[in-house]
Amino acid sequence: MSAPAVELRSVSRSRGGRLVLDGVDLAVAAGEFLALLGPSGCGKTTTLRLVAGFDAPDAGAVLIDGRDVRGVPPYRRDVNTVFQDYALFPHLDVFANVAFGLETAAVPRAEIRTRVDEALALVRLEGLERRRPSQLSGGQQQRVAVARALVRRPSVLLLDEPLGALDLQLRRRMQEELRALQRRLGTTFVYVTHDQEEALGMADRVGVMDAGRIVQIGAPRDLYARPVSRFVAEFIGETNLLEGVVRAVDGERVAVDVDGVGAVVAEGAAAAGVRVALAVRPEHVVLADDGLPGVVDDVVWNGAGVRYRVRLAAGAALAVRDARGALGVGAAVHVRLPATDVRVLAG
Q: Are 202 and 178 in contact (CB under 8 A)?
A: yes
Residue 45 as a binder of other proteins (CB under 8 A): the answer is: no
- If the CB atoms of residues 75 and 301 are measured against other proteins, the closer one turns out to be 75
**Burial annotation 12-42 (CB, 10 A radius, 16+ → b, else e):** ebeeeeeebbeebebebbeebbbbbbbeeeb
Q: Output the smallest distance, CB 36 to other proteins, in A.
A: 18
Q: Are 157 and 149 in contact (CB under 8 A)?
A: yes
Q: Which of 37, 42, 52, 146 binds other proteins (CB under 8 A)?
A: 52
Residue 222: CB atoms within 10 A of its CB come to 13
- If the CB atoms of residues 84 and 229 are measured against other proteins, the closer one turns out to be 84
Q: Are 320 and 282 in contact (CB under 8 A)?
A: yes
Residue 240 as a binder of other proteins (CB under 8 A): the answer is: no
Q: Output the smallest distance, CB 81 to other proteins, in A.
A: 5
Q: What angle do CA 34, 69, 63 make, to 5 degrees?
A: 35
Q: Which of 25, 59, 67, 105 binds other proteins (CB under 8 A)?
A: 105
CA 196 from chain centre, in angstroms, equals: 5
Q: Output the smallest distance, CB 112 to other proteins, in A.
A: 13
Q: At what angle do helices 109-122 and 138-150 cross, to 10 degrees?
A: 130
Q: Output the smallest distance, CB 200 to other proteins, in A.
A: 28
- If the CB atoms of residues 34 and 52 are measured against other proteins, the closer one turns out to be 52
- If the CB atoms of residues 78 and 177 are measured against other proteins, the closer one turns out to be 78
Q: Is 283 helix (H, G, I), strand (E, B) or coil?
A: helix
- If the CB atoms of residues 152 and 343 are measured against other proteins, the closer one turns out to be 152
- If the CB atoms of residues 115 and 321 are measured against other proteins, the closer one turns out to be 115
Question: Would you give the end-to-end CA distance of the chain in angstroms?
Answer: 35
- If the CB atoms of residues 69 and 223 are measured against other proteins, the closer one turns out to be 69
Which residues does 294 contact at the CB level (< 8 Å), separation at least 6?
310, 311, 312, 313, 318, 332, 333, 334, 335
- If the CB atoms of residues 49 and 205 are measured against other proteins, the closer one turns out to be 49
- Site track for other proteins across 152-171, x = CB under 8 A: x-------------------
Query: Can you tell me the distance from the alpha carbon of 213 to that of 206, in angstroms, rounded to the nearest whole number?
Result: 13
Q: Are 11 and 60 in contact (CB under 8 A)?
A: yes
How many of the chain's residues bind other proteins (CB under 8 A)?
Answer: 22
Query: Can you tell me the distance from the alpha carbon of 43 to that of 287, in angstroms, rounded to the nearest whole number?
Result: 40
Q: Output the smallest distance, CB 182 to other proteins, in A.
A: 19
Residue 54 as a binder of other proteins (CB under 8 A): the answer is: yes
Residue 44 as a binder of other proteins (CB under 8 A): the answer is: no
Stretch that binds other proteins, among 52-60, 217-225, 245-253, 293-301 (CB under 8 A): 52-60
* Cα separation values, 115 from 18, 88, 107, 145, Å: 43, 18, 10, 15
- Site track for other proteins across 56-95, x = CB under 8 A: -----------------xxx---xxx-x---xxxxx----
Residues within the interface to other proteins (CB under 8 A): 52-54, 73-75, 79-81, 83, 87-91, 100-101, 104-105, 148-149, 152
